[in-house]
Chains A and B, each alone.
Chain A
Amino acid sequence: MTVSLDPLNEVRRAEMRRLLLFSTLGHVLVLGLFFALPNPSSAPALPGIISVDLVSAPPGAPAPKPKAAPKPKPQPVPPAPPKPKPPPKPVAKKVVLPTEAPAAIPKPKPAPAKPKEKEVEYDDLLDQLRAEAGEEEPPPEPVKTAAASPVEGGGGRTGVRVPPEVAAWLRDARIHVRNAWVLPPGFRLQPLEAYVAVELDAAGNVIGSPRIERSSGNPWYDESVTRAISKASPLPAPPQAGRWDFVFRPEDSY
């Protein structure tokens, strides 16, 4: 029963030294980039961490764990600046979005007989999504709590009106990402929720790495979520290129 499985120490030490050097250089580089680039949010320092992980895989299992810890840590940091920003943004953009939407709508409008389609209340959209998922009773939605922030800006219910093509895209993107999302059963019994910001180009390609805006608190759940988005790329072409947010919240869905 006693086992001697000795990972090779000498080799590892040599590797360690080499990789430590790389790692240090990598960190210096990343730091440099951090200060050089105007937009810090676009620089999730993932690549730098990888090489460190490879080294640090020790004989014991916890190898991957150190990797997990550093990853979420840098992430929560960037969200900090964005967080204060969103509150004003939604208010401002709330006004913008409807104006943007009509700007986008005119194009499809002339050709197809879409005028019948009304703008959908975001709440209704959620209800619709829920109905699709086979959920009967809509629980008090986070959107209502979300409304809390818009309310400051004078929103009524949620106040967010979603143009039909956006609604359609939200639905398609959801299905697309869902199909790429693997979540082991153990995680499903936990109240986990992660917010992810994703940069999409006009064709739906994910640009760079998805960024955790709000961690679920479990780095491995966050991993599964960003992995799902990377795997889902390219997504259906979005109504407009740029940042889109994803909320991952497992419910009963067996």
Chain B
Amino acid sequence: MNPFLSAALAAIAALACLLSPVAFAQGKPPVIVTDPSARVYRVAIQRFAGTTEDASARLREKIGTALEFSSLFRPLDPIAFLGADQTPSLDEDLAFACGDWSQIGADALVQGEIRSETKLGIGKSDLVVEFRVRDVARSCRKLIRKRYRGGPDKESEIAKRIADDIVGAFTGSRGVSATEITFVSSRPGNREIFVMDADGGNVRQATHNKSINTFPSWAPDGRSIVYTSYREKRRPGLFLLARGGGSPGRILGGLMGGAPQYRAVFDPEGKRLAVVMSANGAAEIFTVRKDGKRLDRLTENRNIDISPSWSPDGKRIAYVSDRSGAPQIYLMDSDGSNTRRLTFQGAYNTHPAWSPDGRWIAYESRLQGQFDIWLIDPDGAVNFPLVSHPRSDEHPSWSPDSRLLAFSSTRRGRADIFVTDLAGDNIRRLTRSAGDNTNPSWGPYGK
């Protein structure tokens, strides 16, 4: 593991020690456990009852893949099962023996049933999948039982949702395999906005204007994406992509007499946007309501102030300013007051991204011409590199559960979108097609 992370963790641990007195049980010294042996739960997934072997094996495979994506679970090979390969039934399972699952080292056991139900009046049939998770360590007690229904084409999505539920049952916040990531790709020849599933599948091109399109960023309800496009008069302006009947197209067009707009991000409530606009020749940060009213200027100087990122409570904004000479990360209240510099290490720090749980601000730091992804806490007390590579890693964006980070990297030549967990050493590539893929923005929990 990387030494910086270790040092940061040691500092955190030492701090924790100082803060906490120990109460001995009956004068006996406690057993102090400091180093968990594993960071992934091992999950046994039975084939679901009520369908063909092929269909149930396929669903098991999909649930397993989605669980692996979480970085928190590893499916056990069914060959190792001592218990039944297929769930007999969710209701009566007289032969069930928890020991069969604890012996093979499973932490979780997933059981389920599938059936297809014909909708009344319509000839179409729906897939109905019901599943249950058992906590093997605790006598296989049942954690959740849930049912999903959807068209036959929804099998993959149902599998992802089941996986996300399982993650939630074990860790408190549901998984993110059923979320989406928007990004910029040059694969059409110019830079267009794309959307893909969080696992890199189901890639869709969202803009087709043959101009330059960049900085896509989700609205917190997941119904729209704001982005910057040079499609009108080759000047940067803000546009909206909307799904499900929203109104797409140019937004906030008349602000400041049509001043160039470089980038916008929604606040966590989706009511206001932080906008980077040109004012007197310098890029400055403003906030404005979605309807263009209540424009407030937050930064006012001759330096460049860009890359705003809201704190999850919407009360603060992290951003980049070069007022000290080189770009550094700063924080301010969302009314522009209480400005303070956050990063002091490194000569060139940009692209802050505040984690949805508020704990960290990810940013990119340039060292000897290459960018690495760093994490710093909002107090500036802990600061360490999470992802570092001889090639550049840029544009960090958090998953909605704050457990994963998407970023773009040139580690394989052209730029691709990658994802890492917070240990920084489980890095996977999401994009695989030609062209540069950059500026990922991870969407919220869906629907």
Q: What is A's interface to B at a CB cutoff of 8 Å?
A: 1-8, 11-12, 50, 53-54, 57, 61-65, 68, 82-83, 86-87, 89-90, 92-94, 96-97, 122, 125-126, 129, 133, 135, 139-143, 145-146, 148-149, 160, 162, 166, 170, 173-174, 177-186, 188-193, 195, 197, 209, 213-214, 218-220, 223-224, 227-228, 230-231, 242-254
Contacts and interface: CB of A to CB of B under 8 A. Distances in A.
A129 B363 CA distance: 36
Given A146-B22, A174-B31, A244-B25, A227 B135 contact: yes
Contacts of A64: 143-144, 165, 168-169, 172, 174
Nearest to B2: A254
A12 B144 CA distance: 13
A90 B24 contact: yes
B30 A244 contact: yes
A169 to B, nearest CB: 8
B249 interface: no
A70 B159 CA distance: 29
Given A93-B26, A189-B12, 19 more contacts: A57-B146, A61-B165, A61-B445, A63-B144, A65-B168, A65-B172, A90-B23, A133-B35, A142-B20, A145-B18, A145-B21, A160-B29, A184-B72, A184-B403, A197-B25, A223-B172, A246-B32, A249-B17, A253-B35
Given A189-B12, A213-B23, A231-B102, A170 B31 contact: yes
Nearest 7 CB-CB pairs, A to B?
A: A93-B27, A253-B35, A254-B1, A220-B172, A231-B137, A146-B22, A61-B174
A180 B421 CA distance: 22
A191 B143 contact: no
Interface in B160-178: 161, 164-165, 168-174
A151 to B, nearest CB: 11
B36 interface: yes
A136 to B, nearest CB: 10
B167 to A, nearest CB: 9
B143 to A, nearest CB: 7
B230 interface: no
Contacts of A54: 142, 144-145
Interface residues of B, number: 86
Nearest to B38: A182
Contacts of B95: none
Interface of B: 1, 5-10, 12-41, 71-72, 102, 107, 128, 135-139, 141-150, 154, 157-158, 161, 164-165, 168-174, 243-244, 359-360, 375, 401-403, 421-423, 425-426, 445-447
B27 A185 contact: no
A61 B168 contact: yes
A178 B27 contact: no
A183 B36 contact: yes
Contacts of A90: 23-24, 27
Given A3-B154, A185-B39, A185-B422, A192 B34 contact: no
Nearest to B70: A184
Nearest to A82: B23
B26 A5 contact: no
Given A64-B172, A191-B15, A2 B447 contact: yes
A250 B34 contact: yes
Given A61-B174, A185-B403, A245 B28 contact: yes
17 contacts: A3-B150, A7-B147, A57-B146, A87-B23, A142-B20, A145-B20, A146-B21, A166-B28, A182-B36, A182-B107, A186-B402, A190-B359, A191-B15, A195-B23, A230-B139, A247-B31, A252-B9
Contacts of B19: 191
